Amino acid sequence: MSAWVPGRNEARERLGDEFDKLSIESKLSVSRSVIDSSANPLVVPIYHSSTYVIGSLDEYLAPNHGGNFLYRRCGNPTSETAEVMIRELEGGAATLTYNSGLAATNAVFLAFLSAGDHLVCQLPIYSGTHMFIKNTLMRFGVEVTWVDTSRDGFVDKVAHSIKKNTKMIYVETPSNPVMTVIDVESVAKLGGKTANGTILTVVDSTFASPILQKPLDLGADIVLHSCTKYMGGHSDMIGGCVTTKTIELWNALKMQQLTTGSSMSPFDASLLIRGLKTASLRVIRCSESALKVATFLESHPKVKHVWYPGLESHPNHKIAKKQMRHFGGMIAFDVGDSATARHVVEAVKLIVFAVSLGGTESLIEHPASMSHGRHLHHHQDGEKENAGEDFSSISEGLIRLSIGLEDADDLVADLRRALDSVHN
Ligand SMILES: Cc1ncc(COP(=O)(O)O)c(C=O)c1O
């Protein structure tokens, strides 16, 4: 057991039982880490010092070195405040912040999987996660079963994939880029303590943000996010976070983070704190606009199919309704072929042609040639394709759209202009 402890929430300590009665918006507004300081600024400063003055050797030798702050790689008051805020949002035991979303994902894999362990992983998922599993985890001897979400019966397929050496089930919901919504409660029931040991259920909840979905309440052991997206919310920082159901899981990650150097910088943490304060307003507004845009896209003759969890036509609409507070700002739609998709992503004028998502500006991209392009899939020598491992459900005509804070009618007009200008 490490001597490190998660940050304490000053607001929780001041308000006592009243804190738990607050809405998440109010919790976010008042939460901050307990910081020793004679000054008491309203906004937590950017503590960029790489090291901290030690009072005495006795203090250094005390558990936790007499406090959480020793050296920046091991934590700092700015990122600790972000961690306190996120823990309150997720309802977990404790949170850690990372220098990217992918660093957060990799940390969870590396902390809890060893050679000979088996991972059951959804596919398609974010391509960076997919590539890390293929290029690194598998090279280090982790066995992987990919479970394709493009056909029915995902939960049954996960259940059938579990083996004696299964240690983790990894899902992403809604998924990047095809917007599959996973029934977290049903998947988590397959994990937990089994006759062969513990199976952790890990959820990448980036597309929903902690405002819309609480995987730990649904039974997951670990929830992670790219904070680069909705949590930061302004496309001006890179970061990730992991929240655990138990303090034991947090401790394992903390010990690993100390030696991998993956902690979030205080500059990014301060942008994350600022973003979190408006996250609820932004995410709900993006969700409302996305429903209007998705409804328009579904009615346009040049659009073959729309995947938005808020539409009744979405195959996982019922689950989305049950486990999400709103349906989020991400939409995928298919215009039939690569040439048409390329035309549309270049023809929009208000919506910006760029990768990433979850910011104030609406962004559009073509997954088959960009975020999930086959060019990313260079195989290791001699590596065999696993069934369902080839992104077959990402069609050439698929377009991914992240709805921002522009007026929904203006976004619809921009998309209508781009789609109407398609010749064929
Ligand atoms: C679902 C999901 N998870 C993780 C990541 C990785 O996050 P980052 O770019 O912050 O490393 C991304 C990035 O797009 C993502 O979409």
Per the listing, tokens 């990047």 go with 176
Of 146, 157, 182, the C-alpha closest to 388 is 146
Q: Which residue's structure tokens are 């203090």?
A: 59
- Other beta carbons within 10 angstroms of residue 43's beta carbon come to 11
Q: Longest C-alpha distance within the chain, in Å?
A: 77
> Does some domain include residue 85?
no
**Residue type present at position 39:** A
CB-CB contact of 68 with 75 (8 Å)? yes
pLDDT of res. 4: 84
Identify the pLDDT of residue 304.
Answer: 98
Task: State the residue range of the domain holding 371.
Answer: 280-420
Q: What is the DSSP string of 258-291?
A: HHHT-BPPHHHHHHHHHHHHTHHHHHHHHHHHHH
C-alpha separations of 392 from 150, 344, 368, 373 in Å: 9, 22, 10, 11
Q: Does residue 166's CB lie within 6 angstroms of at least one atom of ligand 1?
A: no
CB 26 within 8 A of CB 73: no
Which position among 12, 32, 229, 400 bears the catalytic label? 229
pLDDT score for 150: 76
The single-letter code of the amino acid at 56 is: S
- Residue of minimum CA distance from atom 7 in ligand 1: 101
- Is residue 102 lining ligand 1, measured as CB closer than 6 Å? yes
Report the phi/psi class of residue 402: left, alpha or beta, with left for phi > 0 and alpha for psi in -120 to 50.
beta
Tokens 């109010």 found at: 26
Closest CA to 86 of 286, 193, 240, 190: 240
73 annotated active-site: yes
* CATH number assigned to the domain comprising residue 390: 3.90.1150.10
Q: Which one of the listed residues 126, 170, 230, 308 is annotated catalytic?
A: 126
pLDDT for the residue 390: 53
- Alpha-carbon span 206 to 72, nearest angstrom: 26
The answer to whether residue 363 is domain-embedded is yes
CB 275 within 8 A of CB 232: yes
Give Cβ neighbours of residue 62 (< 8 Å, ≥ 6 apart). none
For residue 384, what pLDDT is reported?
45
Per-residue confidence (pLDDT) for residue 382, from 0 to 100: 41
Q: Please indicate whether residue 204 is annotated as part of the active site.
A: yes
Q: Is residue 220 part of a domain?
A: no
Residue bearing the CA closest to ligand 1, atom 8? 101
Buried b (16+ CB within 10 A) or exposed e, 164-186: eebbbbbbbbbbbbbbbbbbbbb
- Sign for the CA dihedral angle at 201, 220, 109, 68 comes to negative
Number of folded domains in the chain? 1
Q: Are 218 and 353 in contact (CB under 8 A)?
A: no
Instruction: Report the chain's terminal Cα–Cα distance, integer Å.
Output: 65
Question: Is 128 a domain residue?
Answer: no
Q: Which 8-state DSSP code applies to residue 406?
A: S
Residue 126 Cα to ligand 1 middle (Å): 7
List the beta bridge partners of residue 306.
333
Residue type at position 174: P
Domain for residue 221, yes or no?
no
Distances (CA, A) of 314 to 290, 318, 320: 14, 9, 9
Q: Is 56 exposed, middle or buried (0-12, 13-18, 19+ CB in 10 A)?
A: exposed
List beta partners, residue 194: 197
Within-domain flag for 268: no
Residue 52: active-site member: no
Ligand 1 binding pocket includes 226 (Cβ within 6 Å): yes
DSSP string, 179-247: -----HHHHHHHSEEETTEEEEEEEE-TTTHHHH--TTTTT-SEEEEETTTTTT-SS----EEEEESSH
Structure tokens at 144: 């992987």
Pair type for strands 192-194 and 197-204: antiparallel
* 170 labelled catalytic: no
CB 44 within 8 A of CB 293: no
Residue 316, in any domain of the structure: yes
Q: How many angstroms does the Cα of residue 181 sit away from the middle of ligand 1?
A: 17
Regarding the beta carbon of 28 and ligand 1, being less than 6 Å apart is answered no
pLDDT at position 65, please? 78
**pLDDT tens track of the chain, all 424 residues?**
457 889 999 999 999 999 999 999 999 999 999 887 778 899 999 999 999 988 899 988 887 777 789 999 999 999 999 999 999 999 999 999 999 999 999 999 999 999 999 999 999 999 999 999 999 999 999 999 999 987 789 999 999 999 999 999 999 999 999 999 999 999 999 999 998 899 999 999 999 999 999 999 999 999 999 999 999 999 999 999 999 999 999 999 999 999 999 999 999 999 999 999 999 999 999 999 999 999 999 999 999 999 999 999 999 999 999 999 999 999 999 999 999 999 999 999 999 999 999 999 999 999 999 888 765 554 444 444 454 455 556 899 999 999 999 999 999 999 999 999 998 7
Distance, CA of 121 to CA of 168 (rounded, Å): 8
Q: Is residue 264 part of a domain?
A: no
User: Among 8, 73, 325, 416, which one carries the catalytic annotation?
Assistant: 73
